[in-house]
Amino acid sequence: MGLEPDFLSLVNDTLTIEPCTGQTVDGAPTYGASTSAPVCVQQARKVVFFADGKTEISTTQLFVMSTSVHIGMADRLSWAGMLPGSTEPPRILAIDHVNDEDGQHHVEVSCG
């Protein structure tokens, strides 16, 4: 089943995803060809809990409207409406590939 029209109406930007493919001999990440997906970007504070008991505040929530996109913790993300003056891609704190009865419904990404 595809995404519901009401859910798609929340889209306010396009997310560019560059998958991390490895690293150079100097340790810098390398990235593959980019893909894009519709996204709802929300600037909101959210507490992210890690397995080791630590917490961190996420300032941006991304709701990626795709039933097939995969996002990894080391991938590079960008969107047109990023905070003005941003020169570094946002740091991914948490990723949740949300499923329904038919498989992946959307992806939620918390960034700091």
Q: What is the pTM of this model?
A: 0.84
pLDDT value of position 23: 95
pLDDT value of position 3: 57
Tokens matching residue 2: 């595809």
Residue 67: which region, alpha, beta or left (left: phi > 0; alpha: psi -120 to 50)? Answer: alpha
Per-residue pLDDT of the chain (112 residues; tens, 9 = 90+): 555 677 667 788 899 999 999 999 999 999 999 999 999 999 889 999 999 999 999 999 999 988 889 999 999 999 887 766 666 788 999 999 988 888 888 899 999 8
pLDDT value of position 67: 80
Distances (CA, A) of 33 to 20, 74, 97: 9, 14, 21
pLDDT value of position 7: 65
Domain 5-111 has CATH 2.40.10: yes
pLDDT value of position 30: 96
Tokens matching residue 33: 């060809």
